[in-house]
Amino acid sequence: MLTVNPKEVSQQQLHAYLLGAVGPRPIAFASTVDKDGKPNLAPFSFFNVFSSNPPIAIFSPNRAGKTGATKHTHENVKEVPEVVLNIVNYNMVQQMSLSSSPYAKGVDEFVKAGFTKLASQMVKPPRVAEAPITLECKVNQVIEMGEHGGAGNLIICEVLLIHIKEEVLDEKGVIDQKKIDLVARMGGNWYCRAHGDALFEIPKPITTLGIGVDQIPESIRSSKVLTGNDLGQLGSVEHLPTTEEVAEYRASQGTKFSSASQLHSYAKTLLDVNKVAEAWKVLLANA
């Protein structure tokens, strides 16, 4: 295993390791204006939401790695402490990337990238009309973390208004993760699209208390077939099937297994389609 001490590699190497390891990262497509009202539009992947009460988002326009220069976005929010965070989906990713070109201060990236300005209701910076969701924010605080290249500048934003296109909502008025088609940043030139088979659901264990992997019989826990994900599913049940349920399943079961490997492979096929209770029955019935 490669072990990296941040103090023993270049800033460029460290930057590449961190961005390659921590991802996918959501994109803050930030619209700001300077003191003269000139707009700027730029994407930043050091971004997330950190509170819903109050609604707080934070993004970081880092200093340039080679020169240490600050980004126009950073300078703008210090002059006019407001920002619109435009959420990026697949339909606008190429234009978003174009806007990240190092245009001179005062150049309008809305125009360069071909985006449409949409007036905001509570802040001065315009919204990106093409974005599926836009967050109008006031900037509560700017935390500057250093003066050298690569240093972050945390822009702490309070969300004042959220605009959501109805086309990305489901019948219950909730954002449909398939319809919104989000993209995220990876390392280097790589992006990730939250679409198709990349999307999957795992029920949140908030109201349930799983038995835990430690309570799975050793013969199953040490399987050479079942993965850590499989064991996590098995350990998420609140209780094992009863003796009566296992006996009933054994009596009705037609499949016979010649080895533990074959048994575990069959259980794995059940787990792959989220039939956790049946997987437990087959495992215990053939133990």
Share of the chain above pLDDT 90, in %: 86
pLDDT at 281 over 80: yes
Whether the predicted pLDDT of 249 surpasses 80: yes
Rounded average pLDDT over 32-46: 97
Burial class (CB in 10 A: 0-12, 13-18, 19+), 135: buried
Please work out, in degrees rounded to the nearest 5, the angle formed at the alpha carbon of residue 56 by the alpha carbons of 145 and 133. 115
Q: Map out the domains of the chain with their CATH numbers.
A: 6-196 (2.30.110.10), 213-285 (no CATH)
- pLDDT bin (cut points 50, 70, 90) of residue 47 is very high
Q: What is the DSSP string of 176-241?
A: -HHHH-BEEE-STT-EEE--GGG------TTS-----GGGS-HHHHT-SSS-HHHHHHHTT-SSPP
Tell me what pLDDT residue 20 has: 94
Residues 179 and 167: beta-carbon distance below 8 Å? yes
Decide the pairing of beta strands 153-164 and 55-59. Answer: antiparallel
Please give the full DSSP string across 116-128, using - where no structure is assigned: PEE--SSSSSPEE
The 10s digit of each residue's pLDDT in 150-176 is 899 999 999 999 999 999 999 999 999
- The predicted model scores a pTM of 0.88
Give, in order, the Cα–Cα distances in Å from 276 to each of 133, 234, 238: 36, 6, 11
User: What proportion of the chain, given as a percentage, has pLDDT over 70?
Assistant: 99
Strands 191-193 and 183-185: antiparallel
> What size, in residues, is the chain?
287
How remote is the C-alpha of 169 from its chain's centroid? 19
Pick the more confident residue, 285 or 113. Answer: 113
